[in-house]
Amino acid sequence: MKKIALFAALAAVSLTSNAFAADGKGAFLRAEAGNTRIHYSAIDDSENDVGYNLRGGYFINQNLAFEAFVGNLGGDGIDGASIDAINYGVGIVGKKSFGETAHEGFFIGGRVGVARIDVDLDVDGAGNFEGHSNHPYIGASIGYDFNANMGLSLNVDHQKFSSNGLDGNVGPVPVRITDVGAQFTTVTLGFEYRF
């Protein structure tokens, strides 16, 4: 339900915004896809999978924006178990363009905020276990804006999942898997459209 509300809010922002202003103010949508490196704390092992995000928000000027996002940090199968991780959150985006006008030419950027990660662990023969974690996220980007409305970027984002446990059932018996932790580092190529 929260994901539907987030998508509705992003759609409302994009439908009600005016043409992107020359001073850099306006709404944006960004789609990102790439690779997620998942490092599991309990077994000190790392795996890679596909990760993607849909981000949207509003630039209050050419250098500062607020964003909300939803994404998939990937999934992995290890030792008879599979894990899926979904994330969503809100944050602040900083951007420095090197073109002559706002949002044109090469740029660097960064973002920071708070994200929630929902983890679903399916263990063969045992059952399904779920948990969530709220932590800060941090990211950086470098890219090129073709014009005031469109740009491409290479992004690196880092966030972590730590929980007192994942809850599920083995048959009729409630079970908690304790001390669950992972770190997610996602490298993506992003396409941004500004309204």
DSSP class of 185:
E
pLDDT on residue 91: 97
3 state SS of 113: strand
CATH number at residue 104: 2.40.160.20
Beta carbons of 74 and 44 less than 8 angstroms apart: no
Looking at residue 16, its pLDDT comes to 41
Q: What's the structural domain count of the chain?
A: 1
Domain membership of residue 166 as a residue range: 2-194
Mean of the per-residue pLDDT values of the chain: 81
Q: pLDDT digits over 101-137, tens only?
A: 888 999 999 999 999 988 887 777 677 777 788 889 9
> Tell me: the pLDDT tens digits for 1-46?
455 544 444 444 444 444 445 678 999 999 999 998 888 765 656 6
